[in-house]
């Protein structure tokens, strides 16, 4: 694997998005708390870091960029294509306390069609490819999953639990719960099968045809099939156990993985329902990359703080010290100049001037 430097990756990603005509979205570190509290369940972690502004308003350190982009995108003015590279503040379930997380991503807000969906998924694939050629991009369609849950007769109150078991790929637990809830046996069987599936679209798509019940699922499958053909096939996988909050996500959803990282590095999807909840009639699709995870992929740490430590004393003229250091640097070495050996630092070689 090639060496990775997250700063360099961010630069390359920006350049990629710019070439697709996306404009940069910049936002301040904090926003009024209202925005986030109204859409709390859209956020990955519900904890929000708040403080009181000078005029007494409750402010929040932004936990998310998407909400702010959607709020500021005007309806009916064509597509808004923006990218961002911002720090967000979230708690992680493992550590509790708040962490600053660097996120790079893009959003496309407006009247979303197949072209827009294909482009966003392609950009997700190209972003991952830029970081590591062995990436995987998993795709699912919430419309298909929701359609199947509908036809199984799953009520609103049981959905959360069903989706949780799907997310765990816990097929046996899912089967048991379906029986307990008295869901349609055939649809339950399909639901279990769908949960266990993992593989390339060309292998799995034909098998999905048999699960289609009703217009909603047929439409979802047609959309999924169409989008899959627009993206490089080699890294694409279908995984319907990937489930996002149905209150917000409604169509295509996807997640990107890199070897050597314990969790997904890219996450995105179609979230028309969020816009509907904000009282809008159009749609949106986008994704985010968790840049802080890339730190783990960065090449081995350097063994030395500098190649050369150059020591001098009062008798050495300053011009000789600086001159010699400059000569070493021209030869490609990093040089630190000191009078005494500094504590706690390591050098490949230590020598005296002259």
Nearest distance in Å: CB 175, another protein: 11
Nearest distance in Å: CB 181, another protein: 17
Q: Alpha helix locations (H) across 32-113?
A: 33-38, 66-72
Scan residues 249-288 and list those touching another protein (CB under 8 A).
Answer: 257, 259, 261-264
Binding mask 84-113 for another protein (x = CB under 8 A): ---------xx-------------------
Distance from C-alpha of 279 to C-alpha of 230, rounded to nearest angstrom: 31
Nearest distance in Å: CB 169, another protein: 4
Check binding of 169 to another protein (CB under 8 A): yes
Q: Which is nearer to another protein, 80 or 255 (CB)?
A: 255
Neighbouring residues of 279: CB distance < 8 A, sequence distance ≥ 6: none
At 275, which helix (H) or strand (E)?
helix 272-277
Candidates 64, 138, 223, 324; binder of another protein (CB under 8 A) is: 138
Scan residues 182-211 and list those touching another protein (CB under 8 A).
Answer: 198-199
Distance from C-alpha of 74 to C-alpha of 111, rounded to nearest angstrom: 12
The count of residues in the chain is 354
DSSP 8-state secondary structure symbol assigned to residue 342: P
Three-state DSSP string of 49-84: CEEECCCCCEEEECCCCHHHHHHHCCCCCCCEEEEE
Nearest distance in Å: CB 192, another protein: 13
Nearest distance in Å: CB 150, another protein: 25
Nearest distance in Å: CB 168, another protein: 4
CB 337 within 8 A of CB 310: yes
Candidates 28, 95, 172, 319; binder of another protein (CB under 8 A) is: 172
**With CB under 8 A as the contact rule, which of the stretches 28-36, 99-107, 179-187, 234-242 interacts with another protein?**
234-242
Three-state DSSP string of 288-318: EEEHHHHHHHCCCCCCCCEEEEEECCCCCCH
Distance from C-alpha of 104 to C-alpha of 128, rounded to nearest angstrom: 12
Residues that bind another protein (CB under 8 A): 93-94, 136, 138, 168-170, 172-173, 198-199, 237, 239, 241, 257, 259, 261-264
């Amino acid at each position: 694997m090639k060496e990775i430097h997250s700063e360099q990756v961010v630069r390359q990603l920006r350049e990629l998005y710019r070439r697709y005509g996306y404009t940069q979205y910049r936002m301040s570190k904090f926003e009024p708390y209202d925005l986030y509290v109204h859409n709390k369940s859209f956020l990955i972690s519900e904890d929000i870091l708040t403080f009181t502004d000078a005029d007494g308003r409750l402010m929040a350190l932004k936990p998310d960029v998407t909400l702010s982009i959607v709020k500021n995108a005007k309806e009916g003015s064509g597509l808004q294509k923006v990218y961002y590279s911002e720090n967000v503040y979230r708690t992680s379930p493992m550590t509790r306390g708040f962490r600053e997380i660097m996120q790079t991503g893009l959003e496309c807000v407006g009247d979303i069609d197949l072209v827009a969906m294909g482009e966003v998924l392609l950009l997700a694939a190209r972003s991952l490819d830029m970081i590591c050629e062995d990436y995987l991009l998993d795709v699912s369609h919430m419309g298909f999953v929701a359609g199947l849950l509908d036809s199984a007769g799953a009520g609103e109150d049981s959905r959360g639990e069903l989706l949780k078991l799907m997310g765990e790929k816990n097929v046996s637990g899912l089967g048991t719960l379906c029986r307990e809830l008295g869901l349609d046996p055939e649809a339950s069987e399909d639901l279990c099968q769908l949960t266990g599936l993992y593989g390339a679209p060309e292998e799995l798509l034909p098998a999905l045809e048999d699960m289609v019940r009703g217009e909603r699922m047929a439409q979802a499958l047609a959309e999924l099939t169409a989008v899959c053909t627009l993206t490089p096939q080699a890294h694409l996988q279908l995984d319907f156990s990937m489930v996002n909050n149905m209150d917000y996500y409604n169509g295509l959803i996807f997640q990107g993985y890199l070897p050597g990282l314990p969790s997904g590095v890219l996450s995105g999807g179609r979230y028309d329902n969020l816009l509907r909840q904000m009282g809008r009639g159009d749609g949106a699709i986008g994704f985010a990359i968790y840049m802080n995870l890339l730190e783990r992929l960065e090449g081995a740490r350097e063994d030395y703080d500098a190649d050369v430590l150059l020591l001098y004393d009062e008798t050495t003229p300053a011009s000789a010290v600086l001159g010699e250091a400059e000569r070493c640097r021209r030869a490609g070495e990093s040089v630190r100049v000191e009078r005494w050996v500094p504590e706690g630092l390591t050098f490949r070689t230590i020598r005296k001037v002259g």
